[in-house]
Chains A and B, each alone.
Chain A
Amino acid sequence: MLTFERPPVEYKGLSRTIVRLATKWGGIGIPLLLRFAWGVFLAAVVVLIAFVWLVQHFINPLLPWFVRDFVVVVGLLAFVCIVAIIGIWGERKVSGRIQSRLGPMRTGAWHGWAQSLADGLKFVQKEDLIPAAADKPLFRLAPYLALVPAFCAYLAIPFGVGWVFREADVSLLFVLAMLAIEVLGVIMAGWASNSKWSLYGAMREGCQLVSYEIPMGLSLLAAVLSVGSLNLTELGEAQAGGWFAWLLFQNPFLFAAFFTYYIASLASCKRAPFDLPEGESELVAGFHTEYSGFRFVMFFFAEYAGMFAVSALATIIFLGGWGSPIGGPSSPLWFLAKSTFLVWVQMWVRWTLPRIRIDQVMHACIKYLLPFTLLLFIGSSFWQLYASPAHPLFASLARLLPYGLGTLGLLLLGLYFFGAGYGYYYRNRLVGQMARRHLPGA
């Protein structure tokens, strides 16, 4: 019988060592960790709490200021990288599960946990390709212009009280400004590639981001108005005291503003259904059509950093930031958990909805979202005005309202968990026997 032998794929040098170690360590280590899953989880929590304590007592009041700055910047850089790496892997797992697939399963031996690392290694080793007709300096610069502002946004995002690189008076505006700069990197990439598809992606991004910045900012300002500060730490601290103290539930306008903000943030992160700048069925790959290797990775990192950053903003401003919903001690871990949940919803939306057309994107923003957020802004400010002791009847109503809205939020969350649980319990029936039969390991 004729057989075709494929030459085995060989990693070379450092990457070979890394992949081998990752696979070996993952193959032995992670099943071991899983066996003691609860113990590992508890240990991780203990370690994290110890880390939190360490940071608060030793690193924050640290030494000469530049040592503290250096430590924090390096830490933030590592955090952004981890967010991107786990985000990319998570997105592939999430998309796999949504589509009744498994997603990456092999690299690293446990649920493909090292897939992003392996991909990164591959990208680093790829040929550095620049199209001959490209505007070379701009082509080289563009990925940095996309990634660096996305990272800079983290300099002002507090992860907890005191857990921030620089406490700034206007940190909210700073984060928004940094997220907005990313558009220039994208336009630069699209234009410098000298490809028409890239140019289309860039033009779409330009139109989309400039328009959606306004409803995004207005929704946030409605919340800012009710706290009276642009400082993210103060905004987060204003909601201390559990679930019903969250700004989301403070008045009906803020409740709606959270959703308008979330929609606008999807558009500003180029996430589906607003992923027109890179819409792969129309524009091949949009603005990064001509990019490969590490430059492409930087766009990817920028996207995931941006995703987490907008989710972090939503968490701080609407969802109580680092405060515990059940009234326990506040901690950066709460902040991470809430932001991760919002990132997961972004992924969920992406793998469910089709893409909107560009005229509909503009239409939705200018004709619906923009007037609506303006209305929310005005409504929220009037609410602020009337919920004062001068209007005792309204004020008492306003004091009761958070409980009503909070219950509504609880119901929504409960519905989500019920759906998830139902899906998990009946996963065989939902997916269908046949599909499971075809899955590896079934």
Chain B
Amino acid sequence: MKEIEVHYPPEVLQEGEVPSDIRTEELVLNMGPQHPSTHGVLRVILQTDGELVLKATPYLGYLHRCAEKIAEKVTYRQFTPYTDRLDYLAAMNNNLGFALTVEKLGGIEIPPRADYLRVILAELNRIASHLMATGSYGLDMGAFTPLIYCFREREWIMDLFEAASGARLTYSYITIGGVREDVPEGWTQKCREFLDYFEPKITEYNNLLSFNHIFIQRTANVGICPPELALAYGLTGPCLRGSGVPWDLRKAMPYSRYGEFQFDIPVGRGTYGTVGDCWDRYFVRVEEMVQSVRIIRQALDKLADGPIQAKVPRVVKLPAGEVYYEVENPRGQLGFHLVSDGGTSPYRLKIRGPSFCNLSILPVLAPNCLLADIAALLGSIDIVMGEVDR
């Protein structure tokens, strides 16, 4: 046991700070479970003094669907569709995480084509998820248009996914032992077309939203999360990298074929404010989209014909034992702790949802924010309630 003194950011408000002395009646504000900027059925109880938030307490569980308990009742293959519904904006990555966990315990070898397809689709899904995150972050800030633009591009990715898997949101495409079926004829060409189209669009969004003066004023120096605090609270993904910690599982502990690709880890640099503010967390996502495009290009180059499925029986039986495996999801590290007693379904499956851990920082960062900053903060943490509540 070690005590860590957590130093809170001294001042969240910069200019025009609400004078700390004018205190009026405190108000308890029930934000959610139905609220436009809680991104799902999150309920946050805010204690406010006028516009100033004194305390924020998130209440979870509105979307709890017993995913972990269900896992004990179904076979390994049957659980794949349930992983779709964890982080429903990044279903491919969830599939990948679960498949890798099972394969690790079962010692299943994957053919290279399946591996590259997995990487391509997981990275495409990362782009789709980040598009959703950045677009809806604009909406949280009151800019409606970037959301529609981001959805326009996301639509193309959805089309690609639909062509590959037949589904547009819950794919169950990456299964144990490979991928469910091969991508159709001409799919890689379409994918390259998308990348060529998409890359210049990122600059466009930056000009429209990221470098917009008002947007910077709203997000820079808001909700500052210093690196120590981020590490202490177990933040992962863009939230951690936004605080300036260059930690990415794809680089640090490469899984699948990620070790073969050239890409950088974007980190928050405090360009317009302090390292770890909302703008940094937001911009890390934008930069990650560029890196994802790089990875997909390399993977597409390496994609060769071959089998897409390892020889795995219909009902997977794993040896007794336990394994913990983590993958880098768009929102952070998604971990599966799988305990098997040698049967056809897990004895216990513990899921570490990145959104859940990232959300834990909210009560720490929220005090001293303005009411509007709560929307900025929640949006920059980018939670998906399906994964928080599981």
Residues of A at the B interface (CB closer than 8 Å) are 95, 98-101, 196, 200, 203-204, 272-273, 275-276, 279-284, 351-360, 362-363, 367, 432-435, 438
- B145, A360: Cβ atoms closer than 8 Å: no
Task: Determine, out of B60-68, B214-222, B251-259, the stretch whose residues face the partner at the interface.
Answer: B214-222
The 3 A-B pairs with the shortest beta carbon distances in the complex, nearest first, are: A355-B142, A363-B16, A99-B148
Given the known interface contacts A282-B371, A360-B16, the answer about A434 and B156 at a Cβ–Cβ threshold of 8 Å is: yes
Q: Mark B184-201, 1 if CB is under 8 A from A, else 0.
A: 000000000010010001
B142 — which chain A residues lie within 8 A by C-beta?
272-273, 275, 279-281, 353-355
Chain A residues, CB < 8 A from B37: 281-282
B149 at interface by CB-CB < 8 Å: yes
Q: Which of B199-255 contact A (CB under 8 A)?
A: 201, 208-209, 212, 214-215, 217-218
Interface residue B15 (Cβ < 8 Å from any Cβ of A): yes
Chain B nearest CB, measured from A363 CB (Å): 3
Given contacts A99-B148, A280-B36, A351-B144, whether A358 and B51 have CB atoms under 8 Å apart is: yes
Q: Distance (Å) between the CB of B74 and the closest chain A CB?
A: 25
The answer to whether A200 and B371 have CB atoms under 8 Å apart is yes
Q: Are A359 and B139 in contact (CB under 8 A)?
A: no
Min CB distance A50 to B, Å, is: 42
Query: Which residues of chain A have C-beta atoms less than 8 A from B155's C-beta?
Result: 434, 438
The A-contacting residues of B in range 142-164, CB under 8 angstroms, are: 142-145, 148-149, 152, 155-156
Measured CB to CB, the residues of B under 8 A from A are 13, 15-18, 27, 29-30, 35-37, 50-51, 138-145, 148-149, 152, 155-156, 194, 197, 201, 208-209, 212, 214-215, 217-218, 370-375
**A359 and B143 contacting across the interface, CB-CB below 8 Å:** no
Docked-complex contact A363 and B15, CB < 8 angstroms: yes
Residues of B within 8 Å of A99, CB to CB, are 144-145, 148-149
Interchain CB contact under 8 A, A354 and B215: yes
Interchain CA distance A196-B37 in the complex, whole Å: 16
Chain B residue contacts of A196, Cβ below 8 A: 27, 29-30
Bound together, the chains give a CA A272 to CA B17 distance in angstroms of 22
A interface: dominant SS: helix
**What are 7 A-B residue pairs whose CB atoms fall within 8 Å in the complex?**
A95-B144, A200-B51, A203-B50, A275-B142, A282-B371, A354-B138, A354-B212
Distance in Å: Cβ of A306 to nearest Cβ of chain B: 19
Query: Closest B-chain residue to A272, C-beta based?
Result: B142
Q: Which of B35, B138, B201, B214 contacts A356 (CB 8 A)?
A: B214
Question: How far does the Cβ of B140 sit from chain A's closest Cβ, in whole Å?
Answer: 5
Contacts of B50 in A (CB 8 A): 203
Q: Please, how many angstroms separate the alpha-carbon atoms of A359 and B376 in the complex?
A: 15
- The answer to whether A357 and B148 have CB atoms under 8 Å apart is no
Distance A150 CA – B13 CA, assembled complex (angstroms) = 36
Q: Is the CB of A354 within 8 A of B141?
A: yes
Cα-based distance from A98 to B208 in the complex (angstroms): 12
Q: Is the CB of B145 within 8 A of A98?
A: yes
Task: Give CA–CA (A98, B145) in the complex, Å.
Answer: 7
Contact partner of A357 (CB less than 8 A), chosen from B36, B138, B152, B372, is: B372
Q: Which residues of B contact A200 (CB under 8 A)?
A: 51, 371
* A357 adjacent to B217 (CB under 8 Å): yes
Nearest neighbor of B51 in chain A, beta-carbon distance: A358
Q: How far is the CB of B147 from chain A (nearest CB, A)?
A: 8
- Inside 8 A of A438's CB, which chain B residues have their CB? 152, 155
The smallest C-beta distance from A349 to any residue of chain B, in angstroms, reads 11
Once the chains bind, are B16 and A362 in contact (CB under 8 Å)? yes
Asked whether, in the complex, the Cβ of B373 is within 8 Å of the Cβ of A353, the reply is no
Q: With the chains together, A204 CA to B148 CA distance in Å?
A: 28
Known: A272-B142, A351-B144, A434-B152. A359 touches B214 (CB 8 A): no
Supply 12 further A-B pairs (C-beta < 8 A) apart from A284-B36, A362-B16. Answer: A99-B148, A273-B214, A276-B372, A282-B371, A284-B35, A354-B143, A355-B141, A357-B372, A358-B51, A358-B371, A360-B15, A438-B152
Check if A352 sits within 8 Å of B145, measured CB to CB: yes
CA–CA, A281 and B376, complex, Å: 10
In the bound complex, do residue B218 and residue A354 qualify as a contact, i.e. CB atoms below 8 Å apart?
A: yes
**Contacting A353 at CB < 8 Å: which of B17, B143, B374?**
B143
Indicate whether A101 sits within 8 Å of B15 (C-beta atoms), given known contacts A281-B36, A354-B142, A434-B197.
no
A354 touches B152 (CB 8 A): no
Residues of B within 8 A of A351 (CB): 144-145
In the complex, A356→B149 CA distance in Å?
Answer: 21
Residues of B within 8 A of A353 (CB): 142-143, 212, 214
Residue of B nearest to A367 (CB): B16
Contacts A95-B144, A359-B16: A281 and B214 contacting too (C-beta < 8 A)? no
Closest partner residue, chain A, to B14 (CB atom): A359
Q: Are B13 and A359 in contact (CB under 8 A)?
A: yes
Decide: A281 and B375 in contact? CB cutoff 8 A.
yes
Tell me the minimal C-beta distance from A421 to chain B in angstroms. 20
Chain B nearest CB from A261 CB (Å) reads 20
Asked if residues A432 and B214 are in contact (CB atoms below 8 Å), the reply is no
Contacting pair A358 B156 (CB below 8 A): no
CB nearest to B208 among chain A residues: A352
Closest A residue to B201 using CB positions: A432
A95 to B212, CA, bound (A): 19
CA distance A282 to B37 in the complex (A): 7
Task: Please measure, in the bound complex, the distance between the C-alpha atom of A435 and the C-alpha atom of B373, giving whole angstroms.
Answer: 33
CA gap between A279 and B140 in the complex, in Å? 9
Min C-beta distance of A148 to chain B, whole Å: 29
Question: In the complex, how many angstroms separate the beta carbon of A362 from the nearest chain B beta carbon?
Answer: 6
Q: How far is the CB of B361 from chain A (nearest CB, A)?
A: 20
Most buried by B among A200, A283, A352, A359: A359
Contacts of A280 in B (CB 8 A): 36, 142
A279 CA to B139 CA, complexed, in Å = 10
A354, B144: Cα distance in complex, Å: 8
| Closest partner residue, chain A, to B140 (CB atom) | A281
- Closest CB-CB distance, B22 to chain A, in whole Å? 12
Which residues does chain B contribute within 8 Å of A432, judged by CB atoms? 152, 197, 201
Hey, which chain A residues are within 8 Å of B30, CB to CB?
Answer: 196
Nearest CB to that of A435 among chain B residues? B152
State in angstroms the CA–CA spacing of A6 and B343 once bound together.
46
Residues of A within 8 A of B208 (CB): 352
| B99 → chain A closest CB, angstroms | 30
User: A360 to B35, Cβ gap below 8 A?
Assistant: no
In the complex, what distance in Å separates the CA atom of A272 from the CA atom of B138? 13
Is B15 touching A359 in the complex (CB atoms < 8 A)?
yes
Residues of chain B lying within 8 A (CB to CB) of residue A282: 37, 371-372, 374-375
Structural contact, B17 and A359, CB atoms closer than 8 A? yes
A100→B15 contact, CB < 8 A: no
A363 surroundings in chain B (CB, below 8 A): 15-16
> Could you say which residues of chain A place their CB within 8 Å of the CB of B214?
273, 353-356
